[in-house]
Structures are given as structure tokens and as C-alpha cells.
Structure 1
Amino acid sequence: MSRFTLPAEDILRAREKLVLDHFRDEVAQNWDATLSTFPHPHYELIAQMTVHDGDGEVREYYHDTRIAFPDQDHEVIALRHTVDAVVVEFWLLGTHLGPLVKIPPTGSTHRTRMTAYFIFDENERLVTERIYFDQLTILKQLLSGIDKLSPGGLLTLGRAVVGLLAMTGAEPDPRLLDTTPPDLGEGERPCAH
């Protein structure tokens, strides 16, 4: 299929339904239903340069994020179709009530704008959810709710900073580093700015 030709409307509608079901089941924390939208679950978190691949890793990702944000929810802003993906812009929101990797709970809420690419293969199977967001936006909101004038608040802030520093040394997943430019046809090259 040409990169300039969208699939038929019935295919786009089926993709959209699958993506919206996936979102709904994630919020409901119905992990079996959420995972059933993939033949092989695969998440790529670009801000963190991490990959969660396979049922076990994705379930662990769900578990860890819902420990940190048990009320995690989203508000869809826009949904778009491409040749091989559904692109969803949304607000992710939640209250930080449990540890977020090495950051202790702050009790703060966040509302962060994100984009997720739900990528489909040639057989119309969902093969990847690739999520883009700004980690600093979340961290600023989580830390801003801490009472910096109280001893307990200062202790939480100190622990959060230590947790953040402990997370900075992780190597990016090499699967996210090995990219190839698209084939744009003869004589066409992507711009390198």
C-alpha cells in the first residue's frame, strides 16, 4: 500500500474501535481485555526510552503504573488515522499515591498531554503502542504539590530528588535507537536539520 493511500473506511473504523476499547479497558484495569487487543503486547515509552514487550512485561508495567496512580484516567483530545496507525492525542491524569519507580508518593495530581501511536501490521493486527510525552511535565506537577515548608514535605522532596537521580543512569533500550530513514522514493531525502 502507498504511504499516500488510507485503507478503506471499514478498516479505519475497526482500528478505531479496537483503540477505543483498549483505552476503556485500561482505565477499567481489565488487563486481560486490554492485552487481547494485541497478538503480542508491545509498548514503547519514548520519553523514557523503554520497551515493555510481551504479556509479562506489559502486565508488570500496568501493575507498577497503577500502584503509582491507582486512579489513572485519560481524556481523548483528538483521534487521527494514518496508513498504518491510529494516532490519539489525550490528557493522562492521576493522583500519585504509590511509588513511581524510585520516586515516593507525593499525593499530587498530574494532567499531562500525550500522544500515542497505535501501529497496525499488514494483517490489521495491533503490534505496537508507542507513547510520546514530556516526563518533566509530570514531574513538575508531582513535585509542585509537596509542602516545602513542612519537615515532612521537605523529607518527601528530598526522597523524590534522590529517586530521580537514581533513575537517570538507565541505558536506552537499543530497539528504540536502531532506526532507519523512510524510503521516500528516488531523489527524495528526509531533511536533516
Structure 2
Amino acid sequence: MNRFALPSEAVLRAREKVVLDHFHDEVRQEWDDVLATFPHPHYELIPSMTVHDGDSAVRGYYHDTRVAFPDQDHEIIALRHSADAVIVEFWLLGTHLGPLGKIPPTGGRHRTRMTAYFVFDEHENLVTERVYFDQLSILKQLFAGLDKRKPRDLATLGRAVAGALSMAGGAPDPRLTDTPPPEL
């Protein structure tokens, strides 16, 4: 693929439709429809250096995030095209009503700016959704509503911080760290 040449308008429009359908179906929690946008589902979450690869792993990711944020939604800010990807800037929103990994629910709401790269292969198949965001922004918003003067909220904050710290110690997925240099 020539990294300096954009595909035709028809290809860009087709890619954009796949991405917008993907976003729409995620909000509706229609997982079969979301997964149908990939020949092989593959998510890369750069802040946590985790990969969810394959139908089962991606469904598990969807399940876990919607348990934590059952009302998860998004607001698209901008959509751009590159030679091999559709790049979407968006706000992710949600209320923390269930456990997020080892972080207990705080009841806090977040609105976090993110960027996702929807990468397409040479056959115009969506092969990766690679997401970038600031985890600390989310945690600050989730913890902000806790009243540090109330023993119950203080205990929740303590469990939440302990849970966040325990999740931060995992080894990064080598598929995200062992990257070959580009041919420039």
C-alpha cells in the first residue's frame, strides 16, 4: 500500500460506513452486528497495553465494559481518513454502576476524549480498532463524586484506588511492544 496515496472516494465512503455502523451497533449493544464489521475481531487498548483478539475475547471486553458502564455512549468529534485507516476522535461517556476490573462501582460519570484508529487491510477488511485515551482522566472523574468526608465513600475510594493499582501492574501485551520499525 502506498502510504502517500488515499484510496478512492468510494473506498473511503465504504470504510466510513463500516466505522459508523460499528459505533452505532456498540451503543445499541448489538454485539453480533459489531463483530460482523471484522473478519476477525481485534481491539488494542493502548493506555492499558492490552489486546482483545478473537470473538470470545472481544465479547468478554464488551461484557466487562458494559457491566461497568451500562449506559456507555459516545459523541463523535471528528472523523478523518488516512491511507489505511479511519481515525475517529470522540467523547466516551458512561456512569460507573458496576465493577471495572478490580475497581468497585463509584456511581461517577465520565466524559473522556478518545481517538480510535480503525485499520483496514489491503482487501478493505477492518482488522483492528486501536484506541488511545488517558486512563487518569477517567479515574479522576469516577472518583470526583465520592465525598471524602463520608466513611462509606472513603472506603469505596480506598478499594477503587487499590483496585486501580493492582490492575496497573500487569505485563503489556507483546503485540503492542514488539513492533517493527516502519519502512520509510
What's the counterpart of residue 46 of structure 1?
46
> 1:41-95 CA distances to partner (integer Å, 9 max, x unpaired)?
0000000000000000000000000000000000000000000000000000000
What's the counterpart of residue 170 of structure 1?
170
Determine whether 1:21 maps to 2:21: yes
Aligned partner of 1:110: which letter? H
SS at 1:93 equivalent: strand
SS at 1:23 equivalent: helix
What's the counterpart of residue 63 of structure 1?
63
Give the paired residue count.
Answer: 184
Structure 1 stretches of 5 or more lacking a match? 185-193
What's the counterpart of residue 135 of structure 1?
135
SS at 1:97 equivalent: coil
What's the counterpart of residue 116 of structure 2?
116
Determine whether 1:32 maps to 2:32: yes
User: What pairs up with 1:87-166 in 2 under 5 angstroms?
Assistant: 87-166=87-166
Aligned partner of 2:146: which letter? I
Query: Structure 1: how far apart are the matches of 2:164 and 2:125?
Result: 36
Which structure: larger Rg?
1
What's the counterpart of residue 85 of structure 1?
85
Give 1:100 deviation, angstroms: 0.4
> RMSD of the alignment, in Å?
0.6
Give 1:2 deviation, angstroms: 1.6
Query: Structure 2: how far apart are the matches of 1:49 and 1:93?
Result: 21
SS at 1:27 equivalent: helix
Give 1:12 deviation, angstroms: 0.2
What's the counterpart of residue 191 of structure 1?
none
What's the counterpart of residue 190 of structure 1?
none
Aligned partner of 1:4: which letter? F
Aligned partner of 1:8: which letter? S
Aligned-residue identity in percent:
74
Query: Structure 2: how far apart are the matches of 1:144 and 1:158?
Result: 13
Aligned partner of 2:79: which letter? L
Structure 2 stretches of 5 or more lacking a match? none
Aligned partner of 2:132: which letter? Y
Moved over 3 A (4+): none
Aligned partner of 1:183: which letter? E
SS at 2:129 equivalent: strand
Q: Under a length normalisation based on structure 1, what TM-score does the superposition of the two structures give?
A: 0.94
Query: Structure 2: how far apart are the matches of 1:100 and 1:155?
Result: 16
SS at 1:105 equivalent: coil
Aligned partner of 2:59: which letter? R
Give 1:31 deviation, angstroms: 0.1
More deviation in 162-171 or 106-115? 162-171
What's the counterpart of residue 188 of structure 1?
none
Query: Structure 1: how far apart are the matches of 2:53 and 2:85?
Result: 19
Query: Structure 2: how far apart are the matches of 1:161 and 1:91?
Result: 24
